[in-house]
Amino acid sequence: MYQTIKYEVKENIAYVTINRPEALNALNKTVLEELLDVFGKIGADDEVRAVILTGEGRSFVAGADIAQMSTLTVAEGRAFGAFGQNVMNVIENVEKPVIAAVNGFALGGGCELSMACDFRIASSKAKFGQPEVGLGITPGFAGTQRLSKLVGKGMAKMLIMTADTISAEEALRIGLVEKVVEPEELIPTCEAIAKKIASKAPIAVAMSKTCVNKGYHLDMFSGSALEAEAFGGCFGTEDQKEGMKAFLEKRPAEFKNK
């Protein structure tokens, strides 16, 4: 179905694998278009309760496709950046939790893609960085925005302005990733997290994600009001009735996404 990504759903988990290993999974226009399409499908699929996003081979995503970008005009560069940003926004805001399984290089657009996910689990062999200034450009897929929110303004400036590549352990230390595991443990670790999330009430999970994402940009009063609306709305769901009934009856809940 897709030229540059592999997609399957198993046991309520969607697996999205960027599949251009010969180009270290670099993001060209086709990859971005296919990511946009597949995340549209994921958002509309009630079977999917969590997503694992990774790369084929030894790279997560080594960056945007330099060969494709090298001849862009100002207008074309602006349009390509805007399109990439839109794809990242769709991934960030899809109602299903998205876990980045960072198996190798996550540089430039790859680092930006990982940051659009809800959290990042990294192989000990993973490498992160925003090397764009060494190519005469800025980060283009909202890297200047998301990196500063994850690691702080000063650290983001240092990483972007030096174009340094950092290890998975350093990424963990500065808060760019949430966990580092050995390569063979990467997908099993992500699957365990995804299965745990999939066992919870899907509507409540989606509302929680929305509250965190939107509330991050609001003052405490406005963010708390957003949360109150979501909290109250949960009491109109069948899953809330089932969750609390199961708790009182001391049994596992069986959520139906209703």
Active site residues: 112, 132
For residue 149, the number of C-alpha atoms closer than 13 Å in the C-beta half-sphere is 13
| Residue among 173, 109, 105 at smallest CA distance from 139 | 109
Pull the structure tokens for residue 55.
Answer: 């790369």
Phi and psi angles of residue 226, each rounded to the nearest 5 degrees, phi first: -60, -45
Calculate the alpha carbon distances from 209 to 34, 57, 109, 202 in Å. Answer: 24, 30, 23, 11
Q: DSSP characters for 165-204?
A: EEEHHHHHHHTS-SEEE-GGGHHHHHHHHHHHHHTS-HHH
DSSP symbol at 73: -
Between CA 257 and CA 242 the distance in angstroms is 11
